[in-house]
Amino acid sequence: MVNVGINGFGRIGRNVLRAALGRTDFQVVAVNDLTDSRTLAHLLKYDSLAGTLAAQVEALTAGWWWTAGRSACFHSGIRRRSPGAAPA
């Protein structure tokens, strides 16, 4: 399985994560974005074009994760402007 990180959680980043929910060949393990985790969780759960996400999305103080019977995707609030500056 390939681990994928998403840099930027706009329309494309959220769609990539939604697509990953239905796949078994890759999983999203990190999201880097400047927005706070509560807003990111809300935008993922309630999308005006894709509809409401059936998977659980929970905002936490240190970030957020979703569960869909698979590993969690975690946003640590790194908020790096450069993806190379994010810790490995």
d(CA 68, CA 15) in angstroms, rounded, equals: 16
pLDDT exceeds cutoff 90 at 14: yes
* Residue-wise burial string across 40-79, b where 16 or more C-beta atoms lie within 10 A, e elsewhere: bbebbbeeeeeeebeeebebeeebbbbeeeeeebbbebee
For residue 27, what pLDDT is reported? 81
State the residue for tokens 């994928």: 4
pLDDT tier, 12 (very low <50, low <70, confident <90, very high otherwise): very high
For residue 35, what pLDDT is reported? 82
Q: Which helix (H) or strand (E) holds 40?
A: helix 37-45
Q: Could you give the domains of the chain?
A: 2-81 (3.40.50.720)
pLDDT digits (tens, 9 = 90+) for 26-73: 888 888 888 877 888 899 999 999 999 988 887 776 666 666 655 556
Length of the chain: 88
- The mean per-residue pLDDT over the stretch 16-28 comes to 86
